[in-house]
Amino acid sequence: MSDTTKVPVQYQPSSKNVHHGRTAAAWTGAAVAFVGFAVICVGVVLSSAVIVIVALAVLVLSLVAVLILRAVGLGAD
Q: Of the spans 5-9, 13-17, 22-26, 42-46, which averages the highest pLDDT?
A: 42-46
Could you count the other beta carbons within 10 Å of the beta carbon of residue 40?
A: 18
Nearest to 65, CA basis, from 30, 20, 21: 30
pLDDT digits (tens, 9 = 90+) for 42-54: 999 999 999 999 9
Cα-trace Rg, the chain: 22
Q: Is the pLDDT of residue 23 over 70?
A: yes
pLDDT band at 21; cut points 50, 70, 90: confident
Rounded distance, CA 67 to CA 31, Å? 14
